[in-house]
Amino acid sequence: MTDVNDNGAAAPCTRIAQLLRGEIISEAEVQAICEKTKEVLAKEENVVPVAAPVTVVRPRSFVCPIPPL
């Protein structure tokens, strides 16, 4: 398996790994990751497209398992 796409760009997973290590990537690479993410999510059957802006609300009794940053 290669970390380079057909056009010579690094694969999104490689770039995400760089971000997780705190490395900086270019704006074009961020846009490429976003576009690929949209493609993947569009194929998911439990994802519904909605118009922005969106307000997300939660029940008052909800306890978030992930602490805020």
Q: What is the pLDDT of residues 25-69, one digit of tens each?
A: 999 988 988 898 888 888 999 888 888 898 888 776 666 666 665
Q: Which helix (H) or strand (E) holds 24?
A: none
Between CA 28 and CA 44, with CA 52 as vertex, the angle to 5 degrees is 70
Tell me the domain boundaries of the chain.
Answer: 1-69
29's tokens: 């690479």
36's tokens: 């690929």
Name residues whose C-beta falls within 8 Å of residue 37's C-beta, 6 or more positions apart in sequence: 12
9 pLDDT higher than 70? no
| The model's pTM | 0.54
4's tokens: 């380079």
